[in-house]
Every structure is written in structure tokens, then in C-alpha cells.
């Protein structure tokens, strides 16, 4: 029969392993962690979620746009930014929105850290939120949405539930509000969880794109008869992952 040489075989094996590992870590994978990605498809509710804040420029812009339409949302905040902007965190809560944990540091190496490091990041982030006046923290979103065996172990020891998303707005790096909005509205339906960003990022969409995109999204949701609510409102009384 036809056999592969040891070098070719090792290369193919390595590529297959890398592909499997990369797929397992993907935000859309249930391999290691089974995060919540959506609510009930038969619902007329959706959840807009904002990562990487609080930010002194973008977060108030988001809050203003949400207030104009009477919408509610969930903000996944980075713990190290919370102490710097505690009054902004309280404003988010006071205006009827929900706050989730997005780790303390959001270090890019965090998903590949040990389980105890990840648990420490989860708990430090949660404590920062509680210290800023958040009454209760229920949800955790992994940095970049990446799920690893270590994160699975950390979450087993935590009281928080992992939440990713069903629609990625791909707003980072895109300065065009209409394009961001169309990516969301082109797919949106009942039960969807949408990923947006209100935090500063060196590849960010710029402070002018986010509020314009959000207003387009909110108008489109209203036209479709969809109500933007907090994650807890979307997922209660039942929780779905599919």
C-alpha cells in the first residue's frame, strides 16, 4: 500500500491537531465550555452586549443612544477599568442596564493561562464590579470569547455563567456605521445575543461610528418588532445555548 513518510505524516498530524485545538477554542465551540449564545428563538426579545468598557467617551454615547429608544443592554466590563470609572459603572446600573464580568485584565494571554489564574481573573473582575456598586454579577464573557480546558475548570469553581454571542457586529476596526448596522440587522432574530464594543481599542471603530451604528441598529430592531433587553431578561425563565 501507499504510506506517508515520517516527515509528511508528522506534518499532517500536527496540522490536524492544530486545527482541532483551534476549532475547540473558537467562540462558537462547545468542546471545552458550553457558553450561552442565544435565548429562545420564538421570543421577540434580543440582547445587545457591549464589551471592554467602561470607557469615558464611548460608554456615555452608548447610554445616550439606548436611553433615546428606551432600550436595555448588558455591559461586559474589564475589572481594571472599573475602579477608574466607578461613577460610570453606577450610571449604567442606574439607567436600568446589566453588568457582566469580562475578566480583570483582559490580557491576550489569559485564555491560555492556568485554571487558577483564570479563576483569579474572574473573581477579581467580579469583586471590582461589586465594589463599584453593581448589586449582582451573574454573567462572565471570556476575553475574545475563547474557551479552554483551564477556563472550564475555573468556571466550575465560580458562580458565574459563560456567555458568548450569536451575532458578531465586527465593529472593531470598521469606521462605517451603516456597515456595522447592516451586519447585525441582516441576521437578527428573536433570542439573538449581539456582540458590540464600547471599550477603547487601538484597532477600534472610533468614537463617531459606534453611536451612529447603534442608532441604526435600534431603529432596525424597532421596525422588526424586536425588543432589546438585558441578558437576564432575555434568558429568563429558560436559558438556551443554541
Q: Are 152 and 145 in contact (CB under 8 A)?
A: no
Tell me if 143 is assigned to some domain.
yes
| Number of domains the chain is built from | 1
| CATH number of the domain encompassing residue 174 | 3.20.20.370
- Cα(15)–Cα(12) distance, integer angstroms: 5
Q: Which three cell numbers stand for residue 39?
A: 435565548
pLDDT per position as a tens digit, 126-172:
999 999 999 999 999 998 888 889 999 999 999 999 999 999 999 98
Tell me if 240 is assigned to some domain.
no
Tell me if 53 is assigned to some domain.
yes
pLDDT per position as a tens digit, 27-60:
544 556 789 999 999 999 999 999 999 999 999 9
> DSSP letters of 28-71?
T--SS---B-B--TT-SEEEEEEEEE--TTHHHHHHHHHHHHT-
Tell me if 38 is assigned to some domain.
yes
DSSP-based three-state secondary structure for 165 = coil
Catalytic residue among 85, 102, 106, 197: 197
Residue 222 DSSP code: H
**In this predicted structure, what is the pLDDT of residue 229?**
98
Check whether 14 has a pLDDT greater than 70.
no
Q: Is 52 a catalytic residue?
A: no
Domain that holds residue 56: 32-235
pLDDT per position as a tens digit, 80-122:
999 899 999 999 999 999 999 999 998 777 777 899 999 999 9
- Of residues 132, 128, 143, 100, the one with CA closest to residue 232: 100
**In this predicted structure, what is the pLDDT of residue 92?**
99
Q: Out of 3-7, 158-162, 171-175, 228-232, pick the least confident.
A: 3-7
> DSSP letters of 83-145?
GGGHHHHHHHHHTT-EEEE--SS--TTGGGS-HHHHHHHHHHHHHHHHHTT-S---EE--GGG
Please give the average per-residue pLDDT across 194-221, as a whole number.
83
**In this predicted structure, what is the pLDDT of residue 236?**
86
Catalytic residue among 40, 51, 101, 124: 51
Q: Does residue 241 or residue 230 have the better pLDDT? A: 230
Q: Is 51 a catalytic residue?
A: yes
Amino acid at each position: 500500500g501507499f504510506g506517508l513518510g515520517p516527515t509528511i505524516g508528522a506534518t499532517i498530524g500536527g496540522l490536524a491537531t492544530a486545527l482541532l485545538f483551534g476549532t475547540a477554542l473558537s467562540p462558537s465551540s462547545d468542546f471545552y465550555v458550553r457558553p450561552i449564545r442565544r435565548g429562545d428563538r420564538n421570543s421577540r426579545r434580543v440582547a445587545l452586549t457591549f464589551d471592554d468598557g467602561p470607557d469615558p467617551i464611548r460608554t456615555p454615547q452608548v447610554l445616550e443612544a439606548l436611553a433615546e429608544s428606551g432600550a436595555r443592554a448588558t455591559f461586559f466590563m474589564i475589572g481594571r477599568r472599573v475602579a477608574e470609572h466607578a461613577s460610570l459603572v453606577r450610571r449604567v446600573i442606574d439607567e436600568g442596564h446589566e453588568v457582566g464580568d469580562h475578566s480583570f485584565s483582559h490580557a491576550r494571554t489569559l485564555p491560555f493561562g492556568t485554571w487558577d489564574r483564570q479563576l483569579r481573573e474572574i473573581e477579581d473582575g467580579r469583586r471590582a464590579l461589586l465594589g463599584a456598586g453593581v448589586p449582582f454579577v451573574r454573567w462572565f464573557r471570556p476575553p475574545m470569547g475563547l474557551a479552554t480546558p483551564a477556563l472550564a475548570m475555573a468556571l466550575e469553581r465560580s458562580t458565574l455563567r459563560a456567555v458568548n454571542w450569536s451575532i458578531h457586529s465586527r465593529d472593531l476596526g470598521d469606521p462605517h456605521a451603516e456597515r456595522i448596522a447592516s451586519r447585525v440587522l441582516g441576521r437578527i432574530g428573536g433570542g439573538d445575543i449581539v456582540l458590540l464594543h464600547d471599550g477603547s481599542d487601538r484597532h477600534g471603530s472610533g468614537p463617531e461610528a459606534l453611536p451612529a451604528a447603534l442608532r441604526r441598529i435600534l431603529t432596525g430592531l424597532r421596525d422588526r418588532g424586536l425588543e432589546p433587553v438585558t441578558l437576564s431578561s432575555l434568558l429568563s425563565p429558560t436559558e438556551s445555548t443554541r
